[in-house]
Amino acid sequence: MHTLHTLHTLHTRQTQAVMDSSRFNRLGNNYGSLNHTVRVLGGR
């Protein structure tokens, strides 16, 4: 029972980490697109 609880906690934490990671990646992509747009507009 205790082992199952520990596994569940680890799994929840891992899922949270993956979600945070994807959110961070999306944020980075948005920032990259913004940078690219600014560069294109500035270089025109």
- Please state, in angstroms and as integers, the Cα–Cα distance from residue 13 to each residue in 6, 9, 10, 21, 23, following that order: 11, 6, 5, 12, 15
Number of domains in the chain: 1
Cα-Cα-Cα-Cα torsion 21, 25, 26, 28, nearest 10 degrees, comes to 140
| Domain hosting residue 23, numbered range | 1-42
pLDDT in tens, 13-41: 999 999 899 998 898 898 889 888 888 88
- pTM of the entire predicted model: 0.51
